[in-house]
Amino acid sequence: MTLLEERPPERYEAPERRLTEVIPAPKNKGILAYLTSTDHKQIGINYMVTSFTMFLIAGAMAILMRVQLAVPNNNFVSLTTYNELFTIHGTIMLFLFLGPFAFGTANYLVPIQVGAPDMAFPRFNAFSYWLFLGGCITLLSSFLTSSGAAQWGWFAYAPLTEWIHSPGPGGDLWIVGVALAAFSSMFTGINLITTVFCLRAPGMVMFRMPIFTWNQLVTAFLVLLAFPVLSADLALLWADRHLGTNFFNPARGGQPILWQDLFWFFGHPEVYILALPFFGMATEIISTFSRKPVFGYKGMVFATLSIGGLSMGVWAHHMYTTGAVLLPFFTIMTLLISVPTGIKFFNWIGTMFRGSVRLDSPMLFCLGFLVCFLLGGFTGIMLALPPLDFQLHDTYFVVAHFHYVLFGGSVFAAFGAIHYWFPKFTGKKLDERLAKITFVIMFIGFNLCFFPQHDLGLRGMQRRIATYPSSAGWSFLNMISSIGAFILAFSMLPFLINVWETLRKGKKVGPNPWDGMTLEWVTESPPIPHNFEFIPPIRSERPVWDLNHPDHPTLPHGKHAREMARERREAAMAGVGAGGALGGSATGPATDGDGHVNGHGNGDSPGDGNGSNTPGDGGDGFGGGSP
Amino acid sequence: MAETTGTAPQPGGPGGTGIGPPERHHFLWIIGIWVVLVVPADLIFWFVGGPHMPPGTMTSSAAGQQFDFNVLTMMAIPVVLAVLVYEGYALTTWRASRGGPEPVTNANSRGNLAIQTAFIGVSTAIVLGAFIFGTYELVAPAGAGGGEGPDAAWTPGTHSVLPIQVIAQQWKFTFRYPTFGGFETADLVIPANSWIAFHVTSLDVIHSFWAYQLGVKADANPGYDNIAYTKTTGQLGNFTIRCAELCGIWHGAMFDTGQVMSVPAFKAWAAATEIKLAAATKLLPPFAWTYIPDANGADGGYYPDNEDPYSPVEMYGAQKVTVTP
């Protein structure tokens, strides 16, 4: 798992000066920095800010929809506008918010967490962002066309999407916008995988990588498996609309269900692409705020890998009612995926067990994430059973289910991540009081908005209807849901005020205000251009904790614990101190105002027995990070 | 998290420093609180809420769905309560603000193979149980109400099944009764205590036929015969029909009401309707399980359309019929 053993014996050789010596480019500032930067941190910020803006836009669309549905027989928006709203709302949330936001955090954090100075392909990385921004602009511009934006829902079932049923450039811009986002995602996936495999710092073996980075790695592989299928699907649709082909046209032998198969072959891994990075964020936060290592670290890793693998085989559970699905196969595959997901859940709460739990705002959001995601996960199990799916498919029960998974799960974790890493991004910490107010309002609003939708679905309200008769018996629950939506939207106000005020007036905090455990917390806030002047010895998945808490190091477990105990006994019998046998030498780390290590220094940290902790190999810090 | 499992409480709190009072057994407390909450919650749901859960008992498939939902909810309540109780316990017991010492950092704090393996075993068993339960509920009724395609795997073991063709198009459902001369009507009427086979197809885009109280849902795919079986009970009355798949601008307006009649009443209705619609039936294309949509994609070439402005390009589907007054 590591290249460490394969490194040649270290001996100092004076570097030969070459004509290719890197001369730092002049540093741009302001808008020019934004436009020209290839720094992964700037690109990460670009991704996050852009995708969050798209989140606010799509959220505003959701509010318009909830106004329309608040009362029966409403005419607040036209039928056409309503269809445009839910189509673009879903498309933005899935393609242009959650995924790109996750890529933004990956861009910013993954290179730092593995001890690298940048992503593997910085210019390619910038290109990915510009493609994504192009996708955003393209999609939103479809509202300006004569035909309006696409009106076929975010999963765009053919043949409704054929030209004869949905003519006009609005649909074409939807296809192009989504395709641009898809290519952006694929390029980012390539970049992430290369970065993780090729740029890890010495000592950062695979099983010492933070869970966040692991999850981003698996997500990147899923992107490379799923998004090409989506791209092909979009190309076929474009060809049907403009080149006279008939892939999905039943009038000339095309197969509409082919679209569904291809789309969901992408679409279900996409759900995990939108979930796994946020699982990683929650893992880091819960561990930090419980002041404990992740319980069952390797179990978490294998659970992530299992989720990634199984997610490629469950696509047709979205298609139970088509009559073209081998139901038991997809039932068992779908149910099996709940096992590794359950492992993750178990390990999250196991991490809290007998910890020292701090209820700071990131942890609050993660506790909300645990509750909401649990509900979403369990309704997912219900929907996996075909007889129940026959009743609940395409109803508001499903709408509630996936909002509990993707908002209650991913978005709550995303807000936890924003509050957690904001000091790293900006050097300033968000105001805790406003952050907690944000959480409380968001949690209440979210549940008030989406919990009644379970009941609406059970009472027979199908998705994507612009209005309903008063006799349907859905009026009260819809009103409650709409009130919840307004409260949810209102929760953005304290958050945005908090961000604004903190950026303007916030006090500088040190590099590690939360007592974080992974490598990003050892460098400056925000990090210097090449990220590190110093990297501590990496002997476990939380090297910064080991550095800052030599009295509570991350201990090995399992057979490694037994081996370590034996070594200690042998060392004691030989009259040699165990610390000297197991750790590098200490040279007095510099500390910041919080007492945490902040500068060049060497820790006295134990090995974790993962295969490369030969005594003393972690004694030195490594500037720059590239092997 | 396993450090307290099966072991005596460690003195001195999480660190086991030997200072302070003995620590209580967390698992027993959590399980105790959980049991106190779960038992009444499950009982109340099963006996009070469960019998009233939709979609009711108008057909065997609807009753099956109600039963399935209640069973799954009974499973969900303990799991959800377990997490809520755990979180509540953790926040009241292990809050840093209560001045606790540094958390445990012994080897078990990073994982415990026995506990983790046990969890995987238990969760896998639950999942396999859910799979067996769900598959049994799908197969055993030989008609769970869902579309099973043209070659349904699980069909009723009787030949006495009433076939009804559901034809979906933008934006209405019509129904053909092939065993009554193939007449087509906008009214869906079915007999009580009978097996029904809904043959669902579409003339244009994808729709989804959803008879809510019957517990029947089957996608209407153009050029595709999607069969859904169900068996009506003795319950008579109306049921709601809706389109469940987005099919265009008037998707939400695509709803109707059907009716379950007694068998004699149904036979009388069918015979009378067959006679009443005989002239119109002759104008329909020959009965088939599917109708290939035409080039304009609007009506599937199903209806005679001399007035259709797209007729010159209509190359597919049914032959054009010249209507003489």
ipTM score of complex? 0.88
Residue A90's pLDDT is what?
96
CA–CA dist A317, A310 (Å, integer) = 13
* Range in A66-70, A131-135, A146-150, A596-600 with the lowest mean pLDDT: A596-600
Asked if residue B7 belongs to a domain, the reply is no
- Can you tell me the mean pLDDT for A365-393? 94
pTM of the model: 0.87
Residues B171 and B288 placed together within one structural domain of the fold:
yes
Q: B233-283, pLDDT tens digit by residue?
A: 999 999 999 999 999 999 999 999 999 999 999 999 999 999 999 998 888
Give pLDDT, residue B307.
47
Quick one: average pLDDT of A334-350? 93
The confidence score (pLDDT) of residue A13 equals: 53
Residue A322 sits at the chain B interface (C-beta within 8 Å): yes
Tell whether B105 is covered by a domain: no
A385 touches chain B (CB under 8 A): yes
Examine the domain organization and report whether B91 and B168 are in the same domain: no
Q: Are residues B132 and B219 in the same domain?
A: no
The reply to whether B290 falls in a domain is yes
Q: What is the tens place of the pLDDT at every residue in B171-225?
A: 999 999 999 999 999 999 999 999 999 999 998 899 999 999 999 999 999 989 9
> What is d(CA A290, CA A594) in angstroms, rounded to the nearest whole number?
19
pLDDT one-digit tens code per residue, A126-156: 999 999 999 999 999 999 999 899 999 999 9
Q: Name the residue ranges covered by the structural domains of chain A.
A: 39-505, 551-627
Name the DSSP letter for residue B59. Answer: B
What is the predicted pLDDT for the residue at B313?
41
Tell me which range, A18-22, A28-32, A259-263, is most confidently predicted by mean pLDDT. Answer: A259-263
Which 255-284 residues of chain B touch chain A by CB within 8 A? none
- Closest Cβ opposite residue A160 in set B206, B218, B224: B206
Question: Cis ω on the peptide bond leading into residue B55 (within 30° of 0)?
Answer: yes
The residue with tokens 């209820």 is A359
The rounded mean pLDDT for chain A is: 86
Position B302 scores a pLDDT of: 67
Average pLDDT over residues B20-33: 78
- Comparing alpha-carbon positions, the chain B residue that sits nearest to A153 is B246
In a shared domain, residues B52 and B84: yes
pLDDT tens-digit readout, A189-203:
999 999 999 999 999
Residues of A in contact with B113 (CB under 8 A): 558
Please tell me the predicted confidence (pLDDT) of residue B142.
77
- Reported confidence tier of residue B22, pLDDT bands at 50, 70, 90: low
Residues B187, B257 within the same domain = yes
Q: Is residue B233 part of a domain?
A: yes
B128 & B172 share domain: no
Any A CB within 8 A of B91 CB: yes
Same domain, B210 and B248: yes
Q: Is B91 in contact with A359 (Cβ distance < 8 A)?
A: yes
Domain of B209, CATH number, reads: 2.60.40.420
Distance from CA of B269 to the nearest CA of A (A): 28
What letter would DSSP give residue A291?
Answer: T
Residues of chain B in contact with residue A301, where contact means CB-CB under 8 angstroms, are none
Tell me what pLDDT residue A29 has: 75
Residue B11 lies in a domain: no
Domain-located, residue B153: no
In this model, does residue B92 exceed pLDDT 50? yes
b/e for B95-125, b at 16 or more Cβ within 10 A?
ebeeebebbbbebbbbbbeebbeebbeebee
The helix (run of H) or strand (run of E) holding residue A340 is helix A338-352
Nearest to B137 by CA among A339, A327, A396: A327
How many domains in chain B?
Answer: 2
The answer to whether residues A409 and A373 touch, using CB atoms and an 8 Å cutoff, is: yes
pLDDT digits (tens, 9 = 90+) for A37-58: 899 999 999 999 999 999 999 9
- Among B62, B100, B221, beta carbon nearest to A257: B221
Domain-embedded: residue B32: yes
- What CA–CA distance (Å, rounded) separates B127 from B144? 21
> Average pLDDT for residues A304-326, to the nearest whole number?
93
Q: Nearest 5 degrees, angle CA A290-CA A292-CA A293? A: 130
A583 or A316: which carries more pLDDT confidence?
Answer: A316
**Are B65 and A391 in contact (CB < 8 Å)?**
yes
The predicted structure's pLDDT at residue A503: 95
Window B:188-227, CB contacts with A under 8 Å: 204-206, 208, 210, 212, 215-219, 221-224, 226-227
pLDDT over threshold 70, residue A15: no
Which chain B residues contact residue A356 at CB under 8 A?
14, 94, 96, 100-103
The yes-or-no verdict on residue A121 having pLDDT over 80 is yes
The residue range of the domain holding B199 is: 161-298
Q: Could you tell me if B194 and B260 lie in one domain?
A: yes
Peptide bond before residue B150 is cis, with ω within 30 degrees of 0: no
> Which of B45, B69, B137, B219 to mutate to test binding with chain A, by most A CBs within 10 Å of its CB?
B219
The Cα of A159 is separated from the nearest Cα of chain B by a number of Å equal to 5
Domain A39-505 has CATH 1.20.210.10: yes
The confidence score (pLDDT) of residue B288 equals 87
Q: Which of A183, A190, A206, A214 is nearest to A109 (CA)?
A: A214
Helix residue ranges per DSSP H, A243-312:
256-273, 276-290, 297-311
Are B135 and B168 in the same domain?
no
Structural contact between residues B62 and B213, judged by C-beta atoms closer than 8 angstroms = yes
Range 6-65 of A in CB contact (< 8 A) with B: none
Shared-domain flag, residues B169 and B294: yes
User: What is the residue whose two structure tokens read 């905090």?
Assistant: A509
Per-residue pLDDT, B248: 93
CA distance to partner chain A, nearest, from residue B278 (Å): 29
Which residue of chain B comes nearest to A155, CA vs CA?
B246
Same domain, B238 and B183: yes
Lowest mean pLDDT among A294-298, A597-601, B184-188: A597-601
